[in-house]
Amino acid sequence: MVAVSMLSADFLHLGQDADFVNEHADFFHLDIMDGVFVPNISYGFPVVEAIASVAKKPLDAHLMIVRPENYVERMAGAGVGMLSFHLNAAENPTQVINLIHANGMKAGVAVNPDIPVERLFPYLPVCEFVLIMSVFAGFGGQKFIETSYGRIETVRKEIASQGLSCLIEVDGGVSGKNAAALKSAGADILVAGSAVFKASDPAEAVWQMR
């Protein structure tokens, strides 16, 4: 499945880019940054709500913020269906997962490239997806980190050995060039921003990934 990151969308023509995602992708990927957990600020509820008002595909919000628990309920109210937070941003990840579920959303735990993926293992049975970052969270348009393949394989093996249905989402530097290798490594959902919206033909870029 393909999730398109709206971070690289044209914010002066957001409706057009939302229509594009409705037609060509499987999810809207919404990157929420607070300037504290990551050194960048993206956008917040007014943008999420505007996209939700026209979205025909589920909203997958990726929280790159401290104290994610404070925003879970509002994300659900804004129309988000899948919500991920960074493992090291939460004091009690299990509580955040429970809160996400209590608000009717699918829960995901995210890890940056410097966090051992084994730290995700305890959460695999209780969340619907994990988000393996293939760049350091904070900015679109970064170069894919090649060691991500092995990290995805490690998590895929653990999901299989525990007989679980948790999905693997991969985010950062993804394009038609590495999509096949990512799928072989075990990825279920690929997030792409700049590879889609900065392409001369965005529909072709999604098609290349598929």
Containing H/E element for 83?
strand 82-86
Containing H/E element for 179?
helix 179-185
* Closer of 88 and 98 to ligand DX5 (Cβ): 88
Sign of the alpha-carbon torsion through 96, 111, 156, 189: positive
55, 81 in Cβ contact below 8 A?
no
Would you call 31 a catalytic residue per the annotation?
A: yes
The helix, strand and coil proportions of the chain, stated in percent and rounded to the nearest 5, come to 45, 20, 35
Does 140 contact ligand DX5 by CB under 6 A?
Answer: yes
* Closer of 76 and 110 to Zn ion (Cβ): 110
Binding site for Zn ion (CB under 5 A): 31, 62, 171
Q: Burial level of 202, CB count in 10 A (0-12/13-18/19+)? A: buried
As measured in angstroms, the least distance from the Cβ of 49 to ligand DX5 is 19
Does 69 contact ligand DX5 by CB under 6 A?
Answer: no
* Closer of 165 and 198 to ligand DX5 (Cβ): 198
* Closer of 89 and 162 to Zn ion (Cβ): 89
Would you call 19 a catalytic residue per the annotation?
A: no
As measured in angstroms, the least distance from the Cβ of 110 to Zn ion is 8
Alpha-carbon span 7 to 194, nearest angstrom: 8
Q: How many CB atoms lie within 10 A of CB 100?
A: 27
Does 148 contact ligand DX5 by CB under 6 A?
Answer: no
The residue range among 4-12, 78-86, 98-106, 159-167 that interacts with ligand DX5, by the rule CB under 6 A, is 4-12
Q: Under the rule (CB under 6 A), what is the footprint of ligand DX5? A: 5, 7-8, 29, 31, 62, 135, 137-142, 171-174, 191-195
* Residues forming the active site: 31, 171
